Amino acid sequence: MSLDNCARCGRIFFADKSDLCPGCEAEDEKKLWEIRAFLREEGPATMEEVHQKTGVSKDLILKFIQRGNISCLEPRETGEDDWREVF
Q: How far is the CB of 19 from Zn ion (least distance, A)?
A: 9
Nearer to Zn ion, 10 or 41 (CB): 10
Q: How far is the CB of 60 from Zn ion (least distance, A)?
A: 13
- Alpha-carbon dihedral sign for residues 29, 30, 32, 33: positive
Nearer to Zn ion, 31 or 84 (CB): 31
- Which chain residues interact with Zn ion by CB under 5 A? 6, 8-9, 11, 21, 24
Q: How far is the CB of 26 from Zn ion (least distance, A)?
A: 9
Nearer to Zn ion, 20 or 45 (CB): 20
